[in-house]
Each structure stands twice: as structure tokens, then as C-alpha cells.
Amino acid sequence: RGGTHARQTHAMAPSRRGGYAALGPAAAALLFSSAFIAYKLGGTVPSHGARLQSVVRGSAGVAPRGVPAATGALRSRRMRGCAPERGVQGIKTFAGAETSFPELKNDLLLRAARGEPTERVPVWIHRQAGRYLPEFMDIAMEHGYMKCFNTPELAAELTVQPIEKYGMDAAILFSDILVLLPVMGVEWTMTAGVEPYAVNAIETDEDVEKTMIDASTVDLKEKLGYVFESVTITRKKLKGKAPLIGFSGAPWTLLTYMMHGKGQNGRDNAREFIVKYPDSAKKILENASNLVSAYLIEKVAAGAQMLQVFDSWAGILSEEDFKTFSLPYLLRIAEEVKAGLKERGLPDVPMTVFPRGCKHSISLFSQSAYDCVALDEGVDPADARRELPGKTLQGNFEGKHIYDSEGKIREEVDAMLSRFGTQSYIANFGYAVEKDHDPDKIGVFVDEVRKESERMNQKSRGEGSVGASGDDGSVVGNVRQIAAAT
């Protein structure tokens, strides 16, 4: 069904091979007792699987965590699989996290996102694992895009390519924001040379009642296990060379793709839909918001070290409509994810929001739970610094300059850095890499960000070095007391 069904590849707990009784009476009793004691002492029992956790909770007389699922006449679908925890707005999630990862050798991105001093500006690019790379195309053409999305080993290989080629300071999982659509009842597909589209696109409020699945009834591990497995495999494959970013489309952007049928324009359809059926639109957005929050939490549990929410089509909304149909859900997602991570005992990873095309409203994120705000090409860095005090900024190099000469690219990078400064800043494009960008020119961009930002830091400190890296390439132990350049 569009190639988005989950792959049954995660390890199976003893309960799915005949129950814990298959371990033998003594072993089963010991396993249960130790888990019960751990839980009563305030811990969790992730190593024993979600089913044992639920059994322990039931024996302890404790109700599942979470709040009731969102109301509304959305269809319910009970998926097979082990009994999960109840998480954000009733979405089924799973306790515990993968912990056996290589030590992180380059934490520049994470420090910059948290506003900590950095020796130079970290750099990565939206869609950096993409069609501009010949090595990417070799794999994509051999297997097809859908198989690459749905096969963890292939997704991991494609994610790591730009890290190996350019030494990017972040890896972003090769996936697609559309993988969430089937969870809510809308199937999608993609073929070479054709923009992805919804097979059963939503057009009216009746379609919402007929098609939409209440995401709180869907087992995320069952439906999206292949994505979480991709995260874990990629994190290990990176070998600590760069942090791994997990991402999701924002509710509004997901809504536009739900209305993007074959040969149609989902953006125009979405704008018309919110005028004709505002209540149904909010029902979709509510459902999507709950799902996105739970999805991002699971990505952290699987190994993601930073998160980003892409509202790629927020800019098609008027300022008033943005405040109604996008902003509330973006703000809520950050709050719910942060709270959910804390509740699950997971790392408090930095979060970035990218409200593309909404320079009129970026100040509304100043008090949000997001650590970083990504900017498109239309935002003046000076305005962003003034309107987002205390936030790290990301962006906003104009991709069109990649078509220029090497010298011009370096000039534009230097100008960008002079506007943003070198602290509380992550260099990126204002949008994304294009398929016809020259890979060598991308290398020029990355190289100049590194060289010029380090030179700027050296100048600001009046010293000859800004903490050289160790022999292993690690920047974790470098000098961190750098005066803010902004």
C-alpha cells in the first residue's frame, strides 16, 4: 500500500514466542520479580520489553501514563503487536531507548543549538542526502526511492554519504515527511520523475470522516518500526562522527500533502479546504499534532540526538491563518515532546522549528520550547536576532549562489557569517540542496563556513588558535570559552 507498511524486523520479546513461561518457571519468576522491584523503586524496565512493562504496571496498580486521546469521529484501527505505553495524547509509544551507541566525537551542532560556545560554526544542509550526489543516485536508481525509504540499511547508507564526503556536522535521516500519512489513513506513492501524491486524497469534510484514522489507536512500532530501525542503524553507522537529526513534517504541511492527489495542487486545495471546512481542518491538525509529537519522541528513543519540525508550506498561509492553522500546533508539539522525553527518561535533545515563508511571525517563537529557529532566505538575520533573543538561528544561505563561481560562493558565505556571527548559529541553506547542484560547489560552501567562522573566532579572541581538534577528529574537548561574536 504505497510501500509504506512497516517492516517486521525488530527483535521479538519472549512473550511473542510462547510467553514468559517459555523461559521456565524459575527464570520467569526471577525476571518478573526484578522488574517489579525496579518499577516500585521508580525505575523503568525497558530491557524486558513493552509487554512485561505493562504487566508490571498492572500488578503495581498503576494506570498507563498519558492523557485521553483527542475526541472526534475518526476511525479506529487496532494494530497487532506487543502492548505499548500510552504517551502523547494517547498515542501508543514504547518505553526505553537504545543505548549502545559509539561515543560522539563532534558535538558542535548540539552545543550551538543550546547556545553554548563553539570553536567554529557547525554546518549541514537540508536534503544533503539527495539527488545531487552521484553515489546517492547509484543506490536510488538500483532500488527505487520507496525501497530506500523503507529499508533501514539503505536509508542509513544514504544518510551517512554526505558525512563521509564533506564531514558535515550533522546527519539528517534519509526519510520522507509523508511516512506519517498512512498512519492517519491517507496512502501515498512516489515514482521516478513524478512528485509524491496521495492515492486517496482528502477533498471534503466527508472524506475526513470516511478516511481519517485516529492516530491514537495505531501502534507506532508496528506501523513505523522501519523508520525507528533506520534511526538506530544510522546512529551506529555514523560512529560518532556527527549527531543524528530526526525530523517530521508539521501538521499544516502534512495536511497539504493529504490533499495533494495525482495531478492536483495540494497547497491550493488546502487553502480552499480551511475556508470551506475549518472545523474538519482543525480535526486533521489535532490528529496530526498528536502523531508528530509521539513520532519524534520515538525517534529519540531510537537514537536521534536532535529534532527538527519542517513546516515547509507554512508560507502559503496568510499571517492570520498561520496563527490559526499552523502556529498553535507547532508550539504544542515542542511542549509535548519535551515533556514526553522527560517522562520517558530520554535525553532532552535540542529542537528546531522551520516555519518556511513566515518572517511575519518568527517573533512568536521567542518564548517557545524550541531551542533553534531555522530561517528561509527571506529573513534578515538582524531582525531574527532582535525578535528571537536567546534562540539559536539556523540558515539561510541562498541556494542559487551554488551556481556561481567558487570565489563568489566564498564571498556570499563570508557575508552570511558576518550577518549572523559565529555563536548560537548553525549554517545551512534557506531551503535545500537542488538536484542539479554541483557536489564540488557544495564542498566549497562547507569548507568556507568552517574556515571563515574559525578565522572570525580567532580574530574576536585575539589569539592564534581556537582549540585544535585531537588526533581522533574530536572537537568535544576543545576550548569552549569563546566570546560571543554576535
Query: Is the model's pLDDT at 36 over the cut of 80?
Result: no
What is the structure's pLDDT at 195? 78
Q: What is the pLDDT at residue 370?
A: 98
Residue 8: which pLDDT band, with cuts at 50, 70 and 90? Answer: very low
CB 395 within 8 A of CB 379: yes
pLDDT grade for 96, boundaries at 50, 70 and 90? low
CA 359 to chain centre: 22
To which residue does cell 498561509 refer? Answer: 317
Nearest to 252 by CA among 226, 206, 286: 286
Is the pLDDT at 178 greater than 80? The verdict is yes
Q: Give 446's contacts (C-beta < 8 A, 6+ positions apart).
A: 123, 166, 167, 168
Average predicted confidence (pLDDT) for the chain = 81
- pLDDT attached to residue 218: 92
**Residue 12 pLDDT > 70, yes or no?**
no
pTM over 0.95? The answer is no
Give strand ranges (E) for 227-365.
244-249, 306-311, 351-355
Number of C-beta neighbours around residue 24 at 10 A: 10
Average pLDDT over residues 27-50: 40
- Comparing 44 with 239, the larger pLDDT belongs to 239
Q: Looking at residue 76, what is its pLDDT?
A: 52
